[in-house]
Amino acid sequence: MARRNQRKRRPEPPGPSGFLIVDKPSGMTSHDVVDAARRWLGTRRVGHLGTLDPQATGVLPLAIRAATKLIPFIEGGAKGYDGTVVLGSETDTLDLEGAVLSTFDGKLPSESEVEAELKTFLGDIQQVPPMYSAVKMNGVPLHKLARAGEVVAREPKWITFNEIEITRFDSPELDVRVLCSAGTYIRVLAADLGTKLGCGAHLGGLRRTRSGPFVLEQARTFGTIEAAIEDGTVNDCLIQPEIALGFPVLALNAEQTARLGNGGDLPAGELHTQKPGTRVSVVDDEGSFLAVGEIRADHRLWPLRVLPPEPK
């Protein structure tokens, strides 16, 4: 037991909390990017907000240090994608990485026919998760079953397509811009579109342009981040929690900060007119993020998640 205790990790050096938005390159898993961020920032406390397939690129938000405690308040927002659909062939993974299962020898549909069929996906629909996905069946990821040659029945789930727009049509390829709910598979959209058109289709490429409040313009490439490490400005790449959350902000004095740290509720101050249920970002008198709170019916602020203080 004593030897095991000696192997405990040393305490991490202090550092800022926030969100790092990475422009994920193709060929890396989301966990690969998390591992890279741990090296960049010198902390084990890194989590991602929504997996991207290895071949996909684009917005991958990472929560750093204490900001990992804020993931439940941000995850689940709308997702935006730019994707390429290839008409006329189906693959076992529903994308270009898979083995071709069938090809279509007939005349491919016109742009107007494809556009009309895409409109039928708009709104709330049910979508069956693909076999090559991280969804678990009895604790086992579906992609592991698929690679073992198994195909199992999957329950459809409700998802929402808010926008689907064709941005380029050059048969057999077309580019689409999509705004949808979290948990939506664009690979399945491509395959289902091909089924409806009768010619088959698969996803030829995918780039995520939005994940909740985070957009592609905020995403930093590996090269940009590594350059920031070299010049000592990597911490400046982090988006502050109160900016990411987008809640009204309440600043506390020293006495109120101490009360918050002990789990007590607080007067809502200038936010007392906010309706009950409104969530609030709480900061101290120096602007450091402390907690997420909620306005109650009595117009006091109740702490929902208080972040642990960073060691000095």
Query: Are residue 141 and residue 124 in the same domain, yes or no?
Result: yes
Maximum pairwise Cα distance, the chain? 75
Q: Which two tokens stand for residue 35?
A: 């591992």
Residues 6 or more apart from 73 whose CB is under 8 A from it? 245, 279, 292, 305
How far does Cα 256 stand from its chain's mean position? 34
Query: Are residue 89 and residue 159 in the same domain, yes or no?
Result: yes
How far does Cα 304 stand from its chain's mean position? 22
Asked which of 159, 181, 207 is the last residue of a domain, the reply is 207
pLDDT band at 69 (very low <50, low <70, confident <90, very high): very high
29 in a domain, yes or no?
A: yes
Query: Are residue 22 and residue 72 in the same domain, yes or no?
Result: yes
159 in a domain, yes or no?
A: yes
* Span 245-300, pLDDT tens digits: 999 999 999 999 999 988 888 888 889 889 999 999 999 988 899 999 999 999 89
Residue 71 belongs to what domain range?
Answer: 17-77+214-242
Question: What torsion, rounded to 10 degrees, do the Cα atoms 31, 35, 37, 38 define?
Answer: 140
Number of domains in the chain: 3
Specify the DSSP class assigned to residue 149.
T
We report the CATH number of the domain holding residue 72 as 3.30.2350.10
Instruction: Please report, rounded to a whole number, the percentage of residues in the chain having pLDDT higher than 90.
Output: 72
229 in a domain, yes or no?
A: yes
Query: Are residue 195 and residue 254 in the same domain, yes or no?
Result: no
Tell me which amino acid residue 25 is: P
11 in a domain, yes or no?
A: no
12 in a domain, yes or no?
A: no
* Span 201-246, pLDDT tens digits: 999 999 999 999 999 999 999 999 999 999 989 889 999 999 999 9
Query: Are residue 141 and residue 63 in the same domain, yes or no?
Result: no
pLDDT, average across residues 36-56: 91
We report the CATH number of the domain holding residue 263 as 2.30.130.10
pTM for the model: 0.89
Query: What totals of helices (H) and strands (E) does the chain contain, helices first?
Result: 8, 18
Of the candidates 59, 192, 53, the residue with the CA atom closest to the CA atom of residue 133 = 53
Helices (H), 153-269: 186-197, 222-230, 241-245, 254-261
Query: Are residue 66 and residue 85 in the same domain, yes or no?
Result: no
40 in a domain, yes or no?
A: yes
Query: Are residue 271 and residue 258 in the same domain, yes or no?
Result: yes
Query: Are residue 71 and residue 86 in the same domain, yes or no?
Result: no
Q: Which two tokens stand for residue 301?
A: 């602020």
Query: Are residue 73 and residue 218 in the same domain, yes or no?
Result: yes
Torsion sign (Cα): 94, 98, 99, 103: positive
Q: Which two tokens stand for residue 57?
A: 């690129």
pLDDT band at 76 (very low <50, low <70, confident <90, very high): confident
d(CA 169, CA 262): 59
pLDDT, average across residues 62-76: 93
d(CA 232, CA 216): 24
Query: Are residue 51 and residue 95 in the same domain, yes or no?
Result: no
Query: Are residue 59 and residue 144 in the same domain, yes or no?
Result: no
Tell me which amino acid residue 192 is: D
* Span 103-161, pLDDT tens digits: 999 999 999 999 999 999 999 999 998 877 677 776 777 777 767 777 777 889 999 99
3-state secondary structure of 276: coil
Asked which of 195, 224, 242 is the last residue of a domain, the reply is 242
Query: Are residue 105 and residue 202 in the same domain, yes or no?
Result: yes
Residue in this structure with the two tokens 């406390």, named with its chain if needed: 45
6 in a domain, yes or no?
A: no
263 in a domain, yes or no?
A: yes
Helices (H), 99-240: 111-119, 142-147, 186-197, 222-230
- Counted residue by residue, the chain has a size of 312
Of the candidates 117, 116, 108, the residue with the CA atom closest to the CA atom of residue 87 = 108
Tell me which amino acid residue 113 is: E
pLDDT of residue 154: 82
Asked which of 150, 180, 207 is the last residue of a domain, the reply is 207
Cite the active site residues: 53
Instruction: Please check the confidence at residue 309 and state whether its pLDDT lies above 90.
Output: no
Q: How many CA atoms lie within 13 A of 201 on its CB side?
A: 31
Q: How far is CA 207 from CA 69, 92, 186, 265, in A?
A: 27, 21, 10, 43
